[in-house]
Amino acid sequence: MADTQQTSPASQSASLRTSDDRRIKSIAIVGGGTAGWLAAAMLARALPGTGTVITVIESPDIGTVGVGEATIPPILDVLRFLSIDEGDFIRHTQATYKLGIKFSDWKQLGHTYWHPFGTFGAPIIRRPFYHCWHKARAAGLVPHFNDYSVCAALGDAGKFRFPDGNPDSPAAGLRYALHFDATLVAKYLRSYCERLGVTRIERTVKGAIRRPDGFLDELQFADGSTLRADLYIDCSGFRGVLIEQILGTGYLDWSAMLPCDRAVAFPTASASARPPYTHSRARSAGWHWRIPLQHRTGNGYVYSSAYCSDDEAREDLIRSLGEKPLADPRYLRFVTGRRKLFWNRNCVALGLASGFLEPLESTSIHLVTSGLYHLLEHFPDKDFDPTNIDSYNDELIFENERVRDFIVLHYCLTQRDDTPLWRYCQSMAIPDSLRQRIELFRRTGRIRWRAGELFTDLSWFYIFEGLGVRPDRYDPLLDVVTVGKLSELLASMANSTAAVATAAPTHDSYFTARTASGKRAATAL
Ligand code: FAD
């Protein structure tokens, strides 16, 4: 075949040079909150030696949200990605360890359940353990949840340990995350970024010039100066200065299925024994969070303004804590939902600028880093190929909507009917994707996990189980395991879990040892 299109080495290098010229050489990140500094850090780390100029623009007049203190285990991968030493990070951000979330009063008043990290029991005949759990129940056995979750057992005992390198130990499947001081994290990441050559400027964006094709061409600041970049990252918080105010991307409002739209937050003194978990307590118009840090405790009430005023929310939080606030309460307003597009033209929105899901499962910071990993997978050139942008948006929309479903699950399965909010939650319309998942679980005990979803089948199981959903049947493949054998295996797993919990040190010992000696606690940090 005549190969008229074959390129000579010379023309190949010419086309390479062309593509080189199309490389992104400058990135402007608007916002210096957690999202902005995480974006700067991950991009600076991923683009070393490319000569790409990264500039973070922080407004001297507009503050950060300053909350966002609970994370999920992938945060540790982010630290590894950034080559940040975990112990150093923990010391500088007053962090504590987190083994999961304990939910009180969500199913019914007085009831508590766990969404722990890590594994639950061990598979039997390669079936996930939660199927064995369903069979045990059907056989009249009464297994105790904490006997199969090392994280829940440690959490209830106020203890902590690191995962075991021995794959046969129940502590091999232990996973943990961190609680940290969001302001200290932004400060830490800022100095990390500055060491990597990121430029920081203090300016307030007041507008932007757009090219004829609608792309952002140049930022205009309140002081009259301007900045031009190839790629713009909008981390400007709820305002969405670029993605919404300038590009008018549009917002999908999910508040009909997630009716909380306000929060009040304040710190109290550090607890005498800091628990290794986030505590979420359902209240009449929403829920309280309690997050233990080394130097203080973070508290907040996420509530629906349809059922509770700001003053009532603040009083409810103060009364229920019975502790003195260490600072004035902060009030936050939000509309749960997402931008119609996370990436529009040459602008990618991250953090609160991209949308908001209430912090019930500590997902916001994770979604920032997930957005950044996806951005690196789809890193553009100046052509901004629309198929590349579509692919990014598809992946992020899928991930965000499945996280939304997971959070809605906590509300819609409540058995509480004591206040208007909880009655509303029992009857509100929910997405088909969630309805189908609940139906499948109710009928079969199965949970279908799809690639790209943050929460695994196990996380879904924890919430179904915690909220009292009992499937109609168990996995028939488990019929080959006799009840006697199952009971024996359950007893052996329970013994190993108890042994791990008994041997572990208290969570607080990791921090008191350091405070007492002024040095790192050798075991932890
Ligand atoms: P912000 O912190 O609002 O920062 C915005 C930045 O943009 C600021 O630096 C500001 O100066 C700048 N800016 C704004 N406008 C302009 C302008 N015109 N020009 C220049 N700069 C501008 N997430 C979790 O993962 N875990 C949690 O436990 C958690 N709890 C939360 C509790 C509540 C009540 C809320 C509301 C959120 C919570 N989040 C949590 C979410 C988390 O706080 C955010 O995802 C995170 O802080 C990122 O915020 P951000 O950087 O996007 O925005």
Give dist(CA 155, CA 507) in Å, integer: 9
Report residue 363 as tokens.
């997902």
Whether the CB of 59 sits within 6 Å of ligand 1: yes
Catalytic residue, chosen from 98, 102, 107, 135, is 98
Q: Is the separation of the CB atoms in 14 and 213 below 8 Å?
A: no
- Unique residue bearing structure tokens 């008043």: 109
Res. 243 pLDDT band, cuts 50 70 90: very high
Burial, 172: exposed, middle or buried (Cβ in 10 Å; 0-12, 13-18, 19+)? Answer: middle
Burial, 83: exposed, middle or buried (Cβ in 10 Å; 0-12, 13-18, 19+)? Answer: exposed
Give dist(CA 390, CA 380) in Å, integer: 12
What's the pLDDT tens digit per position in 181-201?
A: 999 999 999 999 999 999 999
Name the amino acid, one letter, at 132: C
Q: Which among 446, 466, 403, 97 has a CA at the least distance from the CA of 258?
A: 403
Q: Which among 400, 382, 350 has a CA at the least distance from the CA of 56?
A: 350
Give dist(CA 486, CA 481) in Å, integer: 6
- Which ligand 1 atom sits closest to the C-alpha of 38? 51
Q: Which among 223, 216, 184, 229 has a CA at the least distance from the CA of 56?
A: 229
User: Does residue 12 register a pLDDT over 80?
Assistant: no
Distance, CA 436 to ligand 1 centroid (Å)? 33
Give dist(CA 161, CA 164) in Å, integer: 9
Active-site annotation holds for 25: no
Res 272: pLDDT:
82
- How close are the terminal C-alpha atoms of the chain, in Å? 66
Length of the chain counted residue by residue: 525
Report residue 125 as tokens.
């005949």
What's the pLDDT tens digit per position in 362-377?
A: 999 999 999 999 999 9
Write the secondary structure of 404-464 as one string of H (helix), E (strand) and C (coil). HHHHHHHHHCCCCCCCHHHHHHHHCCCCHHHHHHHHHHHHHCCCCCCCCCCCCHHHHHHHH
Give dist(CA 412, CA 425) in Å, integer: 5
Report residue 333 as tokens.
């307003």
CA distances from 500 to 60, 489, 497 (A): 50, 17, 5
**Atom 36 in ligand 1: residue holding the nearest Cα:** 332
**Atom 39 in ligand 1: residue holding the nearest Cα:** 68
What's the pLDDT tens digit per position in 225-239?
A: 999 999 999 999 999
Whether the CB of 58 sits within 6 Å of ligand 1: yes
What's the pLDDT tens digit per position in 99-157?
A: 999 999 999 999 999 999 999 999 999 999 999 999 999 999 999 999 999 999 999 99
pTM over 0.75: yes
Whether the CB of 189 sits within 6 Å of ligand 1: no
CA distances from 239 to 11, 60, 185, 253, 401 (A): 47, 15, 22, 15, 21
What's the pLDDT tens digit per position in 454-483?
A: 999 999 999 999 999 999 999 999 999 999
Res 512: pLDDT:
78
- Unique residue bearing structure tokens 């402007």: 28
Give dist(CA 35, CA 412) in Å, integer: 30
Distance, CA 310 to ligand 1 centroid (Å)? 20
Distance, CA 173 to ligand 1 centroid (Å)? 32
Distance, CA 236 to ligand 1 centroid (Å)? 7
Residue to mutate, 37, 59, 65, ligand 1, most ligand atoms under 8 Å from C-beta? 65
- Unique residue bearing structure tokens 């199927």: 131
Give dist(CA 247, CA 350) in Å, integer: 15
Give the number of C-alpha atoms closer than 13 A to the C-alpha of residue 346, restricted to the C-beta side: 26
Give dist(CA 389, CA 380) in Å, integer: 8
Q: How many helices (H) and strands (E) does the chain have?
A: 15, 21
Res. 66 pLDDT band, cuts 50 70 90: confident
Res. 49 pLDDT band, cuts 50 70 90: confident
Give dist(CA 433, CA 401) in Å, integer: 9
Res. 513 pLDDT band, cuts 50 70 90: low
User: Does residue 13 register a pLDDT over 50?
Assistant: no
